[in-house]
Each structure stands twice: as C-alpha cells, then as structure tokens.
Amino acid sequence: MLGGKKVLLGITGGIAAYKTTFLVRLLIKAGAEVKVILTDSASSFVSPLTLATLSKNPVLSSFIKEESGETDWNNHVELGLWADLMIIAPATANTLSKMANGACDNLLLATYLSAKCPVFYAPAMDLDMYKHPSTKASFEKLKAFGNHMIPATSGELASGLHGEGRMAEPEDIINAVTDFLSEGLPLSGKKVLITAGPTYEAIDPVRFIGNHSSGTMGYELAKTAADLGASVYLVSGPTSLNVAHTNIKLIRVVSADEMYEAAHSYFEEIDIAIAAAAVADYRPKTIAGQKIKKASDTLSLDLVRNKDILRSLGERKQNQFLVGFALETENELENAKGKLKRKNLDAIVLNSLNDLGAGFGKATNKITFIDKNSVIKTFELKTKAAVAADILSEICSRIHA
C-alpha cells in the first residue's frame, strides 16, 4: 500500500517523538519516500540527524534555510502538494489546537494548511489533557475538516499516570494508514493464501531432491494481491526472493510436509488460495543421518509419495476460491481440466514448457486461465508481474460476480 507513496511526517514536541525513528524505518521499509518536518520543540526529543539518516532526506524545521552561504526558503506549498499523505505524530494538544483553529506559526502548520492529501494525526499527551473539553473540541473540528485521527491508547504516561493519551505504536500507525489506502480496492478485507517456490526433500544432511522453481510467480502474485488490498499469507519454499509489504506475512518452509502444515493452518480463515508452488511429488523414504559416502557406481533411493496439498485443500474447501497451477508438456488442456476437476478447484492456471519464455527460471510466462465452468482465456507472453495482474483480475471478476 505504501510502495512509492510520498509521505510527509510532521513531528511535534512530545516525549513520544522518540518513537518516530521507528515509524520512519517502517515507512521506508514499506517502500515509501519520506520527508520529515520537525518543530523547534520536537528537536529536544529526537535528533534531526537521526531522522535525516533514516529518511534519506534533509530534515526541515524552519521557513529559512541556509546552505553554502546562500539563503533560501522551504516552500510549504510545494511540500504540501508533493505529499501523497501526511502524518503528524506525535500530535500534541498545542499543535492540535492550532490545526483546528487555523493558527500558522511554524513550517509544519503552514504545510498542513497547504496540504491537498489525506492527513493523519496521532495524538500524544497526558491523561487529563487528552480528556479536556478543548482537546475533544479539536478532535471534532479536525474530523469535520476531513482529517483522520489515529487514537491514542492506554498505558503508562510520562507523568507516571496510567491511562489514555499514549501515542499509537508505529506499527499501529502504519496499519491505520494502509487500512485507509486499502478501502475500495478489489480485495480489500480479503485474506489470500499463496504458496510459492520449490520444496526440498532431504536425502541426507547435504543433499536433497528439488526442482528449478525460483518462486517468482508466487511472489508476484503475493505483491499484486497485497496491492489490491488483500491480507496475504505467502508460504514460500526455499528461494532467494524476499518481499517487503505491510500486507504480506511471509512464512518460509523447506519440505512438502512443512508446506502442507503451513497451508492448512491458514486455510480455514482465508477467502482465496492460489497454489503456485512447485511441490515435490516424492521424498526419500528414509533420510540418512550422515552424509552418504560414495561406495559404488550407483545409488538407489526408495521414494514415497508426498501428501497432495492442493487435493487436500480442495477436499476441505467450503467458501474459499481455490486456484491451482498446471505445468504441462503434453496434452496440456486436457490434463489441466482433469486436474481442476479431480482436485475440486475453482480455477486452474495452465502453462506449458513447450511455450518459449514460459516455465521455471524465466522472467516471463504464458498462461491459460480455466475456471470450473470451462471458461477458457489464453494470454500472450508477458512478464510474471503482468501475468500475476491477469490472474488476480480473473479471480476478482469471479468472486465479485
């Protein structure tokens, strides 16, 4: 949700300002570009140098800036227009009152009055201040202006009192913003389970049976689903890929058995499941405790069949929309349709190793989307990110039909 967003963070003078270092890190980790405006009093609680280092941008605190002997000004209008969203945290009683009444005596307030984007504020003050009628009046005015409050929580306060007034934690601020950005998106409020990558089936402590899956297709599906507003559980086999998205929970596994357990642990609570992983069909019957030494020209392994994750999910399916993948080399359409029916799927994504540019280890893929009503749609060769968008578009068109 925050990837590529331009975020203006205003920090005012409260002890909770120390938490903004963590908030900046979370925003950067989520892919946002961050600029920080610090009031004079806020710099007593948190270092401008720390915030500049974390945000990778100079910290702004006054209208006038002097650099290399030259005098210029920080244009509050440009700042307000630059931002996709503005967060004021902590928002003290003093600043909230000024915001509510149009006072404009520092760069932060001038920028707030110039902002055209959604504005979020996280109050932080002592218990009696938080409950005071004038503070409540500020809240009401700011709500009427269209601003978004991230309510304070209860806890131990700087005064030693215990009660309401503690600034929301950085993670909760991020969640509040992403929930707002998710509203109205096709998968807002939906939970999606995606399996990705290969599985490794151990032979001994050194060797394993695996395949060439990179996990790219599954990871692109996870990112696309998250961008569409879904909460995503990404169960990934061994891969060098990583993902940084506030809507994605990454669960790393190694073997087919581990993937089976992880997928089933989330399946009941999800709305959509997409099994994009290349799961090993077989595993060694026994795993050697020590590295197997070369003793002869041949080595025989007894293999036993792994649990069929997709079939087992199909058997447990109630209201979930379940999608499988079929990687075929012959009789592609016939085999894919058979798999869709046998495993009680709602749809299946067919790709063929006979198509140039498709398959494992490629940056592209060429798919055919088939649903349980035998509606078939074939797509051209595309990047896997574009393929993920096509797959999620087809799913959304069916769950919202």
Question: DSSP letters of 67-87?
Answer: ETTEEEE--HHHHHHH-SEEE
What pLDDT is stored for residue 354 in this prediction? 75
What pLDDT is stored for residue 340 in this prediction? 97
What pLDDT is stored for residue 68 in this prediction? 56
Residue 240 Rama label (left phi>0; alpha psi -120 to 50; beta): alpha
What pLDDT is stored for residue 190 in this prediction? 94
Say how far apart CA 347 and CA 336 lie, in whole Å: 10
Give me the average pLDDT of each 10-residue run along the chain (401 residues): 90 95 94 94 94 95 68 78 96 97 94 95 94 96 97 86 90 92 89 97 95 94 94 97 89 98 97 97 95 90 96 97 92 94 97 75 89 95 96 95 65
Say how far apart CA 249 and CA 216 lie, in whole Å: 16
Say how far apart CA 321 and CA 298 lie, in whole Å: 46
Alpha helices in 93-249, H assignment, sequence order: 93-101, 107-114, 127-131, 133-144, 170-182, 216-227
Biggest alpha carbon–alpha carbon distance for the chain:
86
pLDDT tens per residue, range 38-76: 999 999 999 999 999 999 999 998 877 666 556 566 788
What pLDDT is stored for residue 362 in this prediction? 79
Domains and CATH numbers, the chain: 6-182 (3.40.50.1950), 191-284+301-399 (3.40.50.10300)
* The pair of three-digit structure tokens given for residue 107, joined into one six-digit string: 């760069």
What pLDDT is stored for residue 163 in this prediction? 84
Say how far apart CA 379 and CA 368 lie, in whole Å: 6
Q: Is the pTM of this model over 0.85?
A: no
211 is catalytic: yes
* The pair of three-digit structure tokens given for residue 124, joined into one six-digit string: 């932080």
Share of the chain above pLDDT 90, in %: 80
| Catalytic-labelled residue, pool 94, 211, 335, 344 | 211
pLDDT tens per residue, range 187-240: 998 999 999 999 999 999 999 999 999 999 999 999 999 999 999 999 999 999
Tell me the angle at which helices 20-29 and 170-182 cross, rounded to the nearest 10 degrees. Answer: 40
By three-state DSSP, how is residue 287 classified? coil
Say how far apart CA 62 and CA 123 lie, in whole Å: 22
Say how far apart CA 306 and CA 285 lie, in whole Å: 10
What pLDDT is stored for residue 69 in this prediction? 58
